[in-house]
Amino acid sequence: MAEFNKVVIFGVGLIGGSFALGLRAAGAVEEVVGFGRSPKSLQQALDLGVIDRAGINPAHELSDADLVLLATPVGQMPEIMARIVPYLGPETVVTDGGSTKGDVVAAARAAFGERIGQFVPAHPIAGAENSGAAAARADLYRERKVVLTPLPENSVLNVAKVRSAWEWCGAQIYELTPAEHDRVFAAVSHLPHLLSFALVHDLAVRENKELFFTFAASGFRDFTRIAASHPEMWRDICLANKDALLLELDSYRAQLDELHQALAAGDGRRLEEIFDTARTARRDWAEGKR
């Protein structure tokens, strides 16, 4: 017998769709119901077998749901939370896949009130530059990290239910506080996306942009892959984690200033020191030493 009789997903694209497919592939869910902003996206998810049914009215779907996943851009979550809370069953647990946690937790506290214990925040560290149900894969979370940021009001049982769902998808589970999460991911996720978008935008608005893109090769492709990510989603992430991201941007500017000074002074020794430290750290990380 499957652990979850019914899972409801808001946002059946890459993140939500892969969650559904992962649970289905593991035999961990009997039925997946999907909600989305457009009938077209829901129909695509149905046609691809990502969901079993397209939800029409949350009032008819949530009271008997075991688990609800909010897999929309974080900017949409406050409205969805406010809309679904009145219809949640007493045993229904809600989680999310948002890339920021401080804003999501604040929205949840406002919407859930005394029922905040039913919301367990989470963030799957997986994704791709493509979006939509067609990009969803059953193995997206396999051997990937998922960070839970449990709240003081969460029961052990509710946290265990969310942990189990992600483990069925093959994920490795970690726990941080919401504040720790946002500081870490401002540096290792949000800033890299911001920089990648900035570089491509800089070239894209030049009059002779075709010249640059004609000769761009593997290095440019590797660095800018994530600039093909969903603009709305990353707009919301950057604004939601603005304070931590601004701190990281300031730190990066200081690093750029140091490189600028070394270049201007012809200081090859300092450039090599920086490059060597970076190369060692990158190799250690890639080899699992960090």
pLDDT > 70? residue 4:
yes
Q: Which CATH architecture has domain 4-176?
A: 3-Layer(aba) Sandwich (3.40)
Residue ranges, CATH 1.10.3660.10, the chain: 180-286
What's the predicted TM-score (pTM) here? 0.84
Query: Do 22 and 138 touch, CB atoms closer than 8 A?
Result: yes
pLDDT digits (tens, 9 = 90+) for 140-166: 999 999 999 999 999 999 999 999 999
The pLDDT assigned to 130 comes to: 61
C-alpha separations of 254 from 56, 140, 261 in Å: 51, 36, 11
Residue ranges, CATH 3.40.50.720, the chain: 4-176
Q: Which CATH number fits domain 180-286: 3.30.1490.20, 3.90.1150.10, 1.10.3660.10, 3.40.50.800?
A: 1.10.3660.10
The amino acid sitting at 285 is W
Query: Do 120 and 159 touch, CB atoms closer than 8 A?
Result: yes
Give the side-chain half-sphere CA count within 13 A for 139: 0
Cα 192–chain centre separation: 14
Which run of H or of E encompasses 102? helix 102-112
3-state secondary structure 230-255: CHHHHHHHHHHCHHHHHHHHHHHHHH
The pLDDT assigned to 207 comes to: 96
How does residue 134 score in pLDDT terms, banded at 50, 70 and 90? confident
pLDDT digits (tens, 9 = 90+) for 14-57: 999 999 999 999 999 999 999 988 888 899 999 899 999 998 89
Mean pLDDT of 216-233: 92
Residues 176 and 161: their CA atoms lie apart, in Å, by: 17
Give me the residue label for tokens 């190799």: 283
pLDDT digits (tens, 9 = 90+) for 161-204: 999 999 999 999 999 999 999 999 999 999 999 999 999 999 99
Residues 9 and 16: their CA atoms lie apart, in Å, by: 6
How does residue 6 score in pLDDT terms, banded at 50, 70 and 90? very high
Residue 224 backbone phi and psi in degrees, to 5 = -105, 5
Which of these ranges, 57-61, 84-88, 187-191, has the smallest mean pLDDT? 57-61
Residues 30 and 91: their CA atoms lie apart, in Å, by: 17
